Structure 1
Amino acid sequence: MTRSPDAVLARTRALTIPPLRAAVADLHPSLSRVCAYHFGWCDRDGAPVSGAVPSKMVRAAITLLAAEAAGDTSRDPTAVAGAVAVELLHNYTLLHDDILDKDTLRRGRPTAWAVFGTDLAILAGDALATAAARTLTAVRTEAGHRALATLLDCSAAICDGQADDLDPSRLTTIDDYLRMSAGKTGMLLAGSAEIGATLASGSDHLVEGLRSACLAAALAWQAANDVEDIWGDPAVTGKPAFSDLRRRKATLPVLAAVRSGTPAGNETAALLTDPTGRPWDVTRTARLIEEAGGRAFSEQLVRDQLGIALEELERTDVPSPTKDDLATLFRLIVTRTA
């Protein structure tokens, strides 16, 4: 019987949150408070909170499921260490992304930098990245060394992808977008699977199959997020509407519209490159992007990449219960349903 996404993620949280909390508690007190607030465990004064929207912890779940796929059914602490490491690294990127994107809301409440200032938020992110590496350094096996190397590769790829995202001259085509997404979003999702399978001594063939499936799922996820940013419900996304569009970011719907050759696409391009930088009507711009086909193109790419992810997963030698759980997570992160 296929488990629900909530059941898959609840098990991950039960295994991962205690050592994750311990890693955060070991940080400098000021940085620990910022990180605990970011994770939703406390308010700005450090008092415990209840009812906060929890992190999905999808990457940690994929790490544990990849370990299961490689034969670890005993929930080995080394696989849990991998899950903790990827979650720490992921949240380092979130702390920094919120600053770079000037986002003031995450999961329906003020972002860490908006509460504690950019200096502490940057340091808190750096501390999480260091804690991620330390977590895998403590796994003193050959598999642990390989997993650490993968984690560091993920960190480098994230930085490259983020740099592309910040440089308009490097994001002018759909291929540019896919390259950026593979680094910014894809590498850590794929790396989570590689780390889990590696720590459980999975074969190279299994690792490659899981990486390919996760990379396609990540491309679908990033494209779906771009669509949500323009046409999604802030009550569902937990972020302000049109946040990327207000900054004139070259997201997938925008790129597709601009390159459509349509009057609406040409008008969108003119608005994006307006040298005055004056405020614009984002609601009208969203209509132009949709009229130019940017939304339809992006939603088709989401469907195509999710289909590729599920096909790649089906070709792996992963036992059915674990394979079903991975497919459930892929559908959840892309469509918000299972």
Structure 2
Amino acid sequence: MHAITISEPGGPEALEWAEVPDPVPGEGEVLVDVVASAVNRADLLQRQGFYDPPPGASPYPGLECSGRIAALGPGVTGWTVGDEVCALLAGGGYAEKVAVPAGQLLPVPKGVDLVTAAALPEVTATVWSNVFMVAHLRPGETLLVHGGASGIGTMAIQLAKALGARVAVTAGGPEKLAFCRELGADVLIDYREQDFVEEVRQATGGAGADVILDIMGAKYLDRNVRALAVNGRLAIIGMQGGAKGELDIGALLRKRGAVMATSLRARPVAEKTAIIAAVREHVWPLLEGGAVRAVVDQVVPLREAGAAHRVLEEGGHRGKVVLSV
């Protein structure tokens, strides 16, 4: 098969289309003929040499894909060769074939085309596991989403609104904020010009956000704690603003708040299987019913993955950038 490989860490030009050995599905795995993958921030970090795949994972980038089952490994039940699926991966999505643990497969939702489905596994699993399984967002509460126009952000807005929460977002510029409003965001904050702590407080009558989904890490840590409501929960899923920050424990104590940080890629298969099962139960009906949709900014040929990485680095996209095989 062919795959996007990284011979040396570097810029987008480091991504090379090369012939590599076909993967072989092991116990409990299926082989998928990939139709599309999608670009995630983790892929950019891997390309730069900062985020190696977990032990045993494919060395090629790509944390999600869609396609058709080509073969079943030993012990796999419930799936059939030819089934159209999308999948959460530990790596290997930037390729023509990938071996996937069966528990990380999802059927393509009704009404969603196979290419678009590649944009769903990572965002739905990340948002559902963090906002609902870890931070326990409830109807009537306020969720603050940083990076509201991103792939993660666009899904978080829609899921929170569909389940009865109020949503505040930060994004850069009026066009991205208007797009967030179209998806259901209630409070729009331009992080370039506004203080999100003050804006969230004003929007909540001084209470603050019950849950914050944060991609920035250190840069926003102090302000996120100040923006939390009493009993608020801060879920950190990214470090775009740095890895080390200072935490005011006194402020956190006074709010009886919680700070949680999770990653998805390195979780054991059993944990990913549980998350995917929850996504299938809770999110897939919303997708099939039209309450939630995949947001795809553009589709780029997989051979041109470097160009797709540049789109993410430039930051003008809204939603996901998909790679078609």
TM-score by shorter chain over 0.5: no
Q: Identify the structure with the greater strand proportion.
A: 2
Q: Identify the structure with the greater helix proportion.
A: 1
TM-score of the two chains, using structure 2 as the length reference: 0.27
TM-score of the two chains, using structure 1 as the length reference: 0.27
